[in-house]
Structure 1
Amino acid sequence: MKDINLLKALMFARNKYSPQPSQVKVVLFLSQEYRLLNTSKLNEFLTAGIEVEEIPGYHHTLFQEPYIQKLTQKLQDYLDNNPH
């Protein structure tokens, strides 16, 4: 029952949400599997651009060894090279 209510709320929110353009830069850390998906739709809303960092593996293994090590290294490299 709880899952059904969650799915209903998700569908309601998805149908009502209308994204607006933003001038923020976005960095996506994506698995190889998701990297293959078309992310060009995001370019319509993110006018400052999108940087994609690809992580080996699949979305369901991204937080498991050895992939989590790759993810943490890419995150650390990004943070070290982009201080804010």
Structure 2
Amino acid sequence: MSISQNPSVIAAQIRNEWPKIQGLPAHYLQYMDHMYSIHDRYKGMAAPDVILNFLLASAAWQSDHASVIKSHLFVMICGTFLNSYQDLHN
């Protein structure tokens, strides 16, 4: 399974894998629909914050594909937070 770095593409993949999504996870996916990189913002929220909130709200989504996609999203936001930390301390 190939996973994009583009949050809007990932949101579409999630909807294909989790067709009955509702509540907060659906809300954060709607935000991700308007983000094209990890550096984007939508309605005042940064992409890493939206993705982290999605991950926290999506505990009910469990499958092999869910684990792969969630791990990929986690790595994306960890890389962003690590880069921000390094920028502050250089």
**What TM-score bracket applies, with the shorter chain setting the length?**
0.3 to 0.5
Higher relative contact order at CA 8 Å, sep ≥6: structure 1 or structure 2? 2
Larger radius of gyration: 1
Q: Which one has the bigger strand percentage?
A: 1
Q: TM-score, normalised by structure 1?
A: 0.32
Q: TM-score, normalised by structure 2?
A: 0.31
